[in-house]
Amino acid sequence: MTGPDYSYEQAALARGATRVAGVDEVGRGPLAGPVTAAAVVLDPDNIPPGMNDSKVLSAKKREALYDVILAVADVSIAHASVEEIDDLNILRASHLAMERAVAGLKTAPDHLLIDGNMIPRGLTGSTEAVIKGDAKSLSISAASIVAKICRDRIMWDLAQQFPGYGWETNAGYPSKSHREALQNLGVTPHHRRSFKPVHNILYQE
The domains of the chain are located at 7-202
Residue 171: which residues within 8 A CB-CB, separation 6 or more?
A: 27, 30, 33, 151, 152, 155
110 is in an annotated binding site: no
* Contact of 37 with 22, CB cutoff 8 Å: no
d(CA 97, CA 59): 23
pLDDT tens, residue order, the chain (205 aa): 578 999 999 999 999 999 999 999 999 999 999 999 999 999 999 999 999 888 889 989 999 999 999 999 999 999 999 999 999 999 999 999 999 999 999 999 999 999 999 999 999 889 999 999 999 999 999 999 999 999 999 999 999 999 999 999 999 999 999 999 999 999 999 999 999 999 999 887 4
pTM of the entire predicted model: 0.95
The verdict on whether residue 25 carries a ligand-binding annotation is yes
Q: Which CATH number fits domain 7-202: 2.60.40.2130, 3.30.420.10, 2.60.40.10, 3.20.20.70?
A: 3.30.420.10
Q: What are the b/e assignments for 63-101, b being 16+ CB within 10 Å?
A: eebbebbeeebbbbbbbbebebbbeeebebbbbbbbbbb
Whether 115 has a binding-site annotation, put simply, is yes
